[in-house]
Amino acid sequence: VSQSVELSAILAKMHERTRRLGGWGFEGETVEPSPRMLDWLRSNVGAPGPAVRDNSFPVTLPEPRPLPRLPIAVETTARDRLLHARGQGLIDIIRLRSRTVPAVPDVVVDPVSGLAVFGPGTTGPEVEAALAERGFTLGHFPQSWELATVGGWAATRSSGQESLGYGRIEDLVAGMEIVAPAARWRLHTQPASAAGPDLHRLIMGSEGRLGVITEVTVRARPKPETTAVQAFLAPDLERGLEAVRTLTLSPLPLSMLRLSDAPETAVAMAIGLADSPFAGLARNYLRLRGIGDEACLMLVGASGSGRTVRTALRGAASVLSRVRAVSLGRGPGRHWLRDRFRHPYLREALLDLGWATDTLETAVPWSRAVECRAAVRRALETALESDGERAAVLCHISHPYVDGTSLYFTFFFRTADDPDATIERWARLKRAASDALVSVGATITHHHGIGSWHAPWLETEIGEAGIALVGDAARTMDPEGLINPHVLLDPTDRLRE
């Protein structure tokens, strides 16, 4: 399955799909956990808690409040208003499913799309479809690609799975228009500039607090002939990290490097390899090659002409052989490319069964990566101990840089007796992990953004002067503080809301 076949299938189905309300993705499309995954959860987290079933719809909402006449069409159906009432975090979904959403918008303004210069509501598949007509790609594929928008990417500084090759959204956005109560501001497109501080970067990451991004100009590139991903097993995390760092610093034209820790590898192998009739043979062969229980799965991706891809993957294999990693070929990479936007659908299937799962992410210099992973794991694994509850934690690296790397954590826990108690469990896990990140000097977020949940930790990261500067910018654009008042700058702990 080449990447272009996989993307074309998504694009072809795009207009037939209806967005799901009480969960990620589209109606009628679910991903069920395998029996092996359920066994793993039972032994690592415990028997499931109460199911959190989807009771989000139908529902009767209060009538929209009267609004001034708007020059464009607006949607007022209960479904549209609920779809835009919350985000896509775990507690947003619990609130929607249990009908405990505290507030819903009065109306939803229709999105507008364009070519190369995109309207803010243009989704990932729409961006790629428009660019593909001219033989281009943006190369920005966050896991939320099917539903996330260009405006949202810029507002939250998102990072695609192939950021090693294409860069983060900061590198891909060339110009923007932003509209706020006190200003309509156009940041012009220049290939590079030394005209004072880079104000594009002030807007990117402003999460709507400085205004609404109404137009985004992106830097597209010629669509690559092919994308391939090859899998390897490194003997342990230290050697895997060493290989990722060496490859990142090398001139090889790689588009993606991903390294799972041993627990995440064990889960991936239990779900994938264990179903193969050759599982026993494969395990024995790997043990002979020095790959045991500490093995860490690596995915190495390259995009370009067939020749470029072959050269890049051959070069990577040679670096990896130096840390005694073993190649698993391109099969696991093909599966990963095919399923990469489907993994988040599992969250809702687990809620139906009584387990909750969420993710968090950070970035640290290379020298602190091992310490950071250990601190966050410890914090998550022990946060619910006083209630006799466990959390299971998996970790991977997916965005390496010259000076450091991202770390991405997935954690699982049992749901509690009611939605508020489940959210309270989640809040304790989240606070413990956030404190651990700050204690090791890691960023509070590498790509999910600050929002309101991370806002209490922002000042520790950017300092009093940083908060004052962003606050001044917000006052200039929106003197009465009307837009997204609780994101970024409001330090109230809202983890339970």
Ligand X SMILES: Cc1cc2nc3c(=O)[nH]c(=O)nc-3n(C[C@H](O)[C@H](O)[C@H](O)COP(=O)(O)OP(=O)(O)OC[C@H]3O[C@@H](n4cnc5c(N)ncnc54)[C@H](O)[C@@H]3O)c2cc1C
Binding site for ligand X (CB under 6 A): 24, 87-88, 120, 142-144, 148-149, 151-153, 155-156, 158-159, 207-208, 212-213, 344, 447-449, 451, 484, 487
- b/e 154-168 (16+ beta carbons within 10 angstroms → b): bbbbbbbbbbbbbeb
Nearer to ligand X, 143 or 230 (CB): 143
The secondary structure of 66-96 as a DSSP string is: P-PPPSS-EE--HHHHHHTTS-SSHHHHHHH
CB of 352 to ligand X, least distance (A): 17
Nearer to ligand X, 390 or 399 (CB): 399
> How is residue 279 written in tokens?
């599982």
End-to-end CA distance of the chain: 42
Nearer to ligand X, 87 or 331 (CB): 87
Nearer to ligand X, 241 or 363 (CB): 363
* DSSP classification of residue 198: -
CB of 347 to ligand X, least distance (A): 8
> How is residue 159 written in tokens?
């990072």
Helix pair angle (346-353, 90-97), 10° resolution: 50
Cβ neighbours for 212, distance < 8 A, ≥ 6 positions apart: 120, 151, 178, 179, 180, 483
Nearer to ligand X, 139 or 151 (CB): 151
How many residues in total does the chain contain?
497
CB of 21 to ligand X, least distance (A): 14
Q: What is the dihedral of CA 332, 337, 340, 346, to 10 degrees?
A: -50
> How is residue 13 written in tokens?
């189905």
Burial of 411 (0-12, 13-18, 19+ CB in 10 A): buried
CB of 443 to ligand X, least distance (A): 13
3-state class (DSSP) for residue 391: coil
Only one residue has tokens 């008042």, namely 485
Cβ–Cβ contacts within 10 Å for residue 44, how many? 15
User: CA–CA separation, 56 vs 85, rounded Å?
Assistant: 12
CB of 315 to ligand X, least distance (A): 26
Nearer to ligand X, 33 or 449 (CB): 449
CB of 233 to ligand X, least distance (A): 24
- Asked if 108 and 67 touch (Cβ cutoff 8 Å), the reply is no
CB of 189 to ligand X, least distance (A): 17
CA R_g for the chain: 23
> How is residue 340 written in tokens?
């990469």
CB of 185 to ligand X, least distance (A): 12
Nearer to ligand X, 248 or 410 (CB): 410
CB of 359 to ligand X, least distance (A): 8
Helices (H) and strands (E) in the chain, counts: 18, 15
Q: Which residue is closest to ligand X by CB?
A: 152
Nearer to ligand X, 102 or 277 (CB): 102
Nearer to ligand X, 120 or 419 (CB): 120
Cα 65 to chain centroid distance, Å, stands at: 34
CB of 288 to ligand X, least distance (A): 36
CB of 389 to ligand X, least distance (A): 24
> How is residue 51 written in tokens?
């199911």
Nearer to ligand X, 142 or 400 (CB): 142
Integer angstrom CA distances of residue 387 from 46, 375, 381, 424? 13, 21, 12, 12
Nearer to ligand X, 142 or 333 (CB): 142
